[in-house]
Amino acid sequence: MTGAQPNRLPTGGRVDRSRPLGFRFDGNALQGFAGDTLASALIANDVQLVGRSFKLRRPRGIVGSGAEEPNAILQIGEGATAQPNLRATQVPLRDGLVARTTRGWPGVRFDVGAINDTFGRLLGAGFYYKTFMYPRAWWKLYEHAIRRSAGFGAAPTAPDPDCYEHMNAHCDVLVAGGGPAGLMAALTAAKSGARVILADEQNEFGGGLLACTDQVDGAPAAEWVAAVVDELGDCADCTLLPRSTVFGYHDHNFLTIAERCRDHPDGSADAFSATNRPAAGDDSTAGRQHDPRNGRTAKGPDDHPDSGAAAGHHQDTVQPVKERLWRIRARQVVLAQGSFERPLVFCNNDRPGVMLASAVSTWINRYAVLPGRRAVVFTNNDSAYRAALDLTEAGAEVAAVVDSRRGGAGELGRKALDLGIPVLQGHVVSDVAGRQRVSGASIARWAGDGWATVKPTMRIDCDLVVMSGGYSPAVHLHSQAGGQLDWDESQLGFLPAKSVQANVSAGAGNGKSSLAECLADGVRAGAETVSKLGLEPSPIEAPAAGNIDENPIEALWRVPAVRDADRCPKQFIDFQNDTSVADIKLAVREGYRNVEHVKRYTALGFGTDQGKLGNINGMAVLADILGKSIPEVGTTTFRPAYTPVSFGVGAGESVGELYEPVRKTAIHEWHEAAGAPMEVVGQWHRPWYFPRDGEDMHAAVARECLAVRNSVGIMDASTLGKIDAAGPDVVEFLERIYTHDVGLMKVGRCAYGIMLGEDGMLMDDGVMARRGEHRFYLTTTTGGAANVLDWLEKWLQTEWPELQVYLTSLTEHYSTIAVAGPHSRRVLDKLGCDIALDNESFPFMRMKPATLAGIPVTLFRVSFSGELAYEINIENSLALAMWEKLMDAGREFEITPYGTETMHVLRAEKGYVIVGQDTDGSVTPVDLGMNRLLSNEKDFLGKRSLRRPDCLREDRKQLVGLLSSDARTVLPEGTQLIDEAGSLARGHRRAKRPAWRGSQLGHRSREPIPMCGHVTSSYQSACLGHPIALALVAGGQSRKGATIHAALPGRDPLPVEIVAPVFYDAGGQRQHV
C-alpha cells in the first residue's frame, strides 16, 4: 500500500508531491508528502479508525482538522522520546515518524472493551463515582483497572533525552493567531513602529486562508499570505513565531507560548533565526539574552559541524532545541485565534466518517486529500455549503445538502443548486448507519422541536457525513485573562466582551464571519492597540475580499430522533469524554443544575478538549433541559493551557544538574576526594559521613562519634548562616530580636541565641558573638540563613527605621571548621597559635581573633557536641589549606573527619535541638525547656505570645528524651507515640484476627487510638551503646520516668521510657575543660 495514497487528489493543495515521507501507523508502513499533517496523511491512506472512545470504546475517526480534534489522539515516537496524547491534526508529518493508537486492546479494530457500548445504558454520567465507591479501600484497585482500560497513552519511563529551553521576551504588541485578522493586526502594528511578536500554532501562517478558495486583493489567498509574511519579516521589530501556541494568558499581560522548534517537514532545523529575533536590551526589564547559536542549545548539528563544546547533559552532540517556552510580557495583546466549528448533535454522530465541514474543506483545499466519495452535508448555517462545493469540485458526489432551515442558504446555496447538488431544506440527519465507517444517513423532517420524536423519511447511502452547527469564537485566552463573555443571539455564540487586561479580540474570534470583515477587524485591532501605546497608527487599508450574502444560522442544539434522548442511539456532545445528551439529562435528573457541576459530573469538556468542540452544544442542551436561556446557564471557566503542553517544555533547562543551584563549601573537593556521600541541605552539598574500607553508614558514624568523644574530630561547618550586624543601635535592635539579654554580653563573649516569631514559636537559633561595642556576629541554621536575614531586614525597614543598624551576609565569604574532642586544643597548639588556648585564658563561649599556623582566623570556643571544641572562622580562599594543616597536625591523635550524621548524633546525645527537625513552627522555647534563655528584663519579639492561654496549656507537646525498653530498637523518626498499647496489643489482636499483619484493612476494623506525641530525632548512640531518641510528648516535662508506647508498623507497640532530653554528660563538664 506504500505510495498508493488512494485518497490523494492529483493536483492542488499545499503538499509537495516531489517529497514523499514514509511513516508508520500502528505498525503499517504508509506514505504521505511534505506539507501533510499526520491526520491528512492518514486520510490520504484511507485510514478511518484512529482510536476507541474513552468510556464506551466506540470506534472513532478524525472529526476536525486542528486543535479541536477529539479522537485522533495518538502516541508519537518510541522509547524515551515518545510523546503521548498528541492530536494527529497538529502533528506535521516527517520522514520516519512512528505513530500508534492508544486506545483499544488488543487493537482498535477489535476491542474487548467494546462490550461497554452494548451495555452503554449502564454506563451513564457519574457511573464511576457511583459504582466504584465502596469499599473505599478498594478504590486503588478500581482506579488502576479503569485507567488501564481507558488506555490513555503511555508516559515514557526513560529520561527525556531531548533539549528544551525557556526564553523571556518583551514586546509592544503580541498577536496570537496568524489568520487574516492576526496578519492584518500585526502588519498594522509593525508598520506603526510597534515591536511585534506574531505567534501561530500552525506550521505556516495564514490560518483559514490556507484552506480557502477565495481571492484576497485579487490574488489567491495563500499568495496574499506569503506576501504579507514577507512584509512582516522585513519590519525591523517583528518576530514571527510559527509552530507556536499561545497557551496561557496570565496576570499583568504575561503570556506563555510553546514553540515546537523541530516540527519542520525535514524534522531538524530550528526556526529561530538570527534575523527573526526580538529586539532586546533596550528594556530594563528584559530577561536574559540567549543566543541559541552560542548556548548549549545551539542550532542543529548540520549548522555546526564542529561545535562539540556544548555543555549540559548531552556531551557528544549539540542538540537542537525540541520545544521552547516563551515567557512574554506584552504591553498590548491582540487575540485573533479564530473560531471552532460546532458538531451537530444527532444519533451516532461519532461514527468514523462524520466530519466537520471546515475540516473537509481543509482536507481538500490545503492537503489535497478527499475524505469520502459520496457525502451527505448536514447544516444549520451557510458555511457548510462551501464544503459541498469543495467536494463537488474535487470530484466527489454530494448526495444531498440537508439544511434544517426552511429558507436554506444565500448565495452559496444558489451556487450549490447551479452545480446540481440536491438541497433538502427543513430537514435534518437524524441518525447514521455504519459502525466502523459511515454507510448511510437517515433524513427526517424538522419541525423545530428538538425533543419531539421523528420518523425518518428516507435513507441516503454515503461514506461521509459533513456537519456544521455554526461557529464558536475561540474566547479561551480572552477568558483566561479575566475578560467577560456576551451571548450573541444572532450568531448563537459567546463573543468576547469587556477585557480586564490590555487586550483586544479580532476576526472570527471576535464574531466576524466573512473574510472581508476579518481582514478589516484585524486592521482595526492593530490600530487600536498602537494608539493605546501612544503611536500614530499607520494608514493601512484592509485588502479587498468578496463579501457574500448569507442567511442567518438557526438554533439546532439537539436533533430529534426516533425515540427520546434516553432510548435513542447515543447523541454525542463531547466525543472525547463520551458525553451524550442522555448524560446531561441524567445529571439534571440527579439534581445537578450549575454548569460547573454538570461539567464535572459528565466530564463534558475535560481532557484535551477544554471546551473547544462540545462546550456550547453542552450548555445549550443543559439550558434547554432546565428551561433557561444559554446566557442564564453561562459557560464554564477557561483555564490554561489552551492545548496540552509537554512536561519537557515546562521544565526547560531545569533538569539534571541544572535542576537547582548547587552550593559547595571551599573544602568541598577534599570531601569528595575522601569519598563522602553528600547530603543536600538548603542547596548546600554537605558531607554526610566519611566511610572507610567498605564501611556502611552505621559503622562510619559509630567510628566518627567515638573519635570525637575520645580523641578529636573535624567538621566542615561552613554552611551555617553568618551575618554581620553593626551600627550605633545594634544592641537595642538585637535585644528586640533575641530572647536573652544581649546588652549584658561583654565584647568577646558568645551566647546561644534563639529568635521567635511574633506568635512565640521558635524560628531559628545559633551562636552569636559580640565582636565590638557596636558589632555582632550572628550565626543561623544552614537552612534558615536567608530567611533570618529577610526577617531582620523586614523589622529594620518596616517597623524600626529609626534604628541605625547594618546587616551584611557573610555566609559565602567565610568558612567554618569545627575541631571537636578532648584533644582539639592539642591539635591547635601543635599548629601554632598566637593566643593562649588554656581554659583560663580562653574559656568556653569566648571568641578571639588569632593567628593559626600563620593564617589570620577568628577562633570561637563553642561546641555543638558537648566536647571541648573550637570553631575556626577563616576566609574562604584559605580554608582548604587550613583544613589540610589541621589534618596533618591531628594525625597523631587520629583526627577524624565527620559529617552531618555524626554531628546529629552528637548533638542529640546532648539534647540540642535542630530547628525544623525537633521543632515544626508550633513549638515554643518553653516547650523545649529553654526558659532560662527568656529575659525578664525586656520585651522581645514573640514574648507576649508566650502568655497566650494556648501557650500556657500544661498538655502542650514538650521536648523529652526516650529510651527503648528493649535497649535495641532505634525508633523511626516520626513514630507516633501512644499512652496505652490498647487494641494494638497482641493478646487483644489474636482473639480477633490471628493472621493480621498490619494491613490497612486491619487498621480500619479497630478503634482509633489517640496519640500523645511523636519521635523527632532518633539514633543509635555509639558511646552509650544503646538507642536514644528525642520526642515531643504532651505534658512530657512532668512525665519523666513514665512508660508510654511507640506504635511501630507490623509489630507490637514498644514500651518506651520518658527521660530528660540530655543523655550524655548532663552536667556539661566536658566542654568546660
Which residues in this chain contact other proteins in the complex, by CB under 8 A?
Answer: 250-254, 284-285, 329, 482, 500, 758-759, 790, 793-794, 797-802, 804, 939, 943-945, 947-949
Considering the complex, state which of residue 252 and residue 746 has its C-beta at the smaller distance from other proteins: 252
Which residue is listed with cell 511574633?
Answer: 758
For residue 251, the minimal CB distance to other proteins (Å) is 5
Instruction: Give long-range contacts, CB 8 A cutoff, 24+ apart: 439-447.
Output: 439/463, 441/376, 441/378, 441/402, 441/465, 443/400, 443/402, 444/560, 446/404, 446/556, 446/559, 446/560, 447/560
Which residue is listed with cell 420524536?
Answer: 453
For residue 800, the minimal CB distance to other proteins (Å) is 8
For residue 759, the minimal CB distance to other proteins (Å) is 6
Considering the complex, state which of residue 949 and residue 1067 has its C-beta at the smaller distance from other proteins: 949
For residue 186, the minimal CB distance to other proteins (Å) is 23
For residue 337, the minimal CB distance to other proteins (Å) is 21
For residue 948, the minimal CB distance to other proteins (Å) is 6
C-alpha cell at 785: 540563613
| 8 Å CB contact between 829 and 837 | yes
Rounded to whole angstroms, the Cα distance separating 62 from 576 reads 11
Considering the complex, state which of residue 12 and residue 287 has its C-beta at the smaller distance from other proteins: 287
For residue 439, the minimal CB distance to other proteins (Å) is 53
For residue 945, the minimal CB distance to other proteins (Å) is 7
Considering the complex, state which of residue 759 and residue 973 has its C-beta at the smaller distance from other proteins: 759
Considering the complex, state which of residue 917 and residue 945 has its C-beta at the smaller distance from other proteins: 945
CB neighbours of residue 979 within 10 Å:
17
Residue 299 is given by DSSP the state S
Residue 55 CA, chain-centre distance (Å), reads: 27
For residue 167, the minimal CB distance to other proteins (Å) is 14
Considering the complex, state which of residue 921 and residue 1010 has its C-beta at the smaller distance from other proteins: 921
Rounded to whole angstroms, the Cα distance separating 607 from 579 reads 12
Rounded to whole angstroms, the Cα distance separating 72 from 49 reads 9
Considering the complex, state which of residue 17 and residue 327 has its C-beta at the smaller distance from other proteins: 327
Considering the complex, state which of residue 227 and residue 502 has its C-beta at the smaller distance from other proteins: 502
Considering the complex, state which of residue 802 and residue 840 has its C-beta at the smaller distance from other proteins: 802
Rounded to whole angstroms, the Cα distance separating 530 from 173 reads 8
For residue 642, the minimal CB distance to other proteins (Å) is 17
Considering the complex, state which of residue 251 and residue 1007 has its C-beta at the smaller distance from other proteins: 251
Considering the complex, state which of residue 411 and residue 729 has its C-beta at the smaller distance from other proteins: 729
Q: How far from 455 is each of 442, 452, 560, 576, 967, CA to CA, in Å?
A: 9, 10, 9, 29, 86
Residue 835 CA, chain-centre distance (Å), reads: 58
Considering the complex, state which of residue 637 and residue 877 has its C-beta at the smaller distance from other proteins: 637
Considering the complex, state which of residue 936 and residue 1069 has its C-beta at the smaller distance from other proteins: 936
For residue 798, the minimal CB distance to other proteins (Å) is 5
Per DSSP, helices labelled H in 712-779 are: 730-737
Rounded to whole angstroms, the Cα distance separating 357 from 378 reads 9
Rounded to whole angstroms, the Cα distance separating 347 from 565 reads 9
Rounded to whole angstroms, the Cα distance separating 573 from 580 reads 5
Bridge-partner residues for 459, per DSSP? Answer: 442
For residue 503, the minimal CB distance to other proteins (Å) is 14
Which residue is listed with cell 524534522?
Answer: 267
Considering the complex, state which of residue 562 and residue 641 has its C-beta at the smaller distance from other proteins: 641
Considering the complex, state which of residue 19 and residue 943 has its C-beta at the smaller distance from other proteins: 943
* Half-sphere exposure for 3 (CA within 13 Å, toward CB): 1
Strand boundaries in 616-700, DSSP class E: 678-681, 684-687
* Cis peptide bond upstream of 106, omega within 30: yes
Give the 3-state secondary structure of residue 256. Answer: strand
For residue 650, the minimal CB distance to other proteins (Å) is 15
Torsion (CA) 216, 219, 223, 227 in degrees, nearest 10 = -80
For residue 943, the minimal CB distance to other proteins (Å) is 7
Considering the complex, state which of residue 613 and residue 761 has its C-beta at the smaller distance from other proteins: 761
Considering the complex, state which of residue 331 and residue 437 has its C-beta at the smaller distance from other proteins: 331
For residue 57, the minimal CB distance to other proteins (Å) is 42
Give the 3-state secondary structure of residue 648. Answer: helix
Residue 995 CA, chain-centre distance (Å), reads: 44
For residue 175, the minimal CB distance to other proteins (Å) is 20
For residue 802, the minimal CB distance to other proteins (Å) is 5
| 8 Å CB contact between 124 and 582 | yes
Give the 3-state secondary structure of residue 61. Answer: coil
DSSP-derived secondary structure for 855-913: EEEEEE---SSSSSEEEEEEEHHHHHHHHHHHHHHTGGGT-EE--HHHHHHHHHHHT--
Considering the complex, state which of residue 540 and residue 651 has its C-beta at the smaller distance from other proteins: 651
Closest CA to 860 of 711, 675, 1026, 717: 717
For residue 936, the minimal CB distance to other proteins (Å) is 11
Rounded to whole angstroms, the Cα distance separating 331 from 501 reads 10
Length of the chain (residues): 1073
- Helix or strand (DSSP H, E) at 1014: strand 1011-1021
Bridge-partner residues for 488, per DSSP? Answer: 493
In degrees, rounded to 5, the angle at the alpha carbon of residue 107 between the alpha carbons of residues 106 and 111 is 75
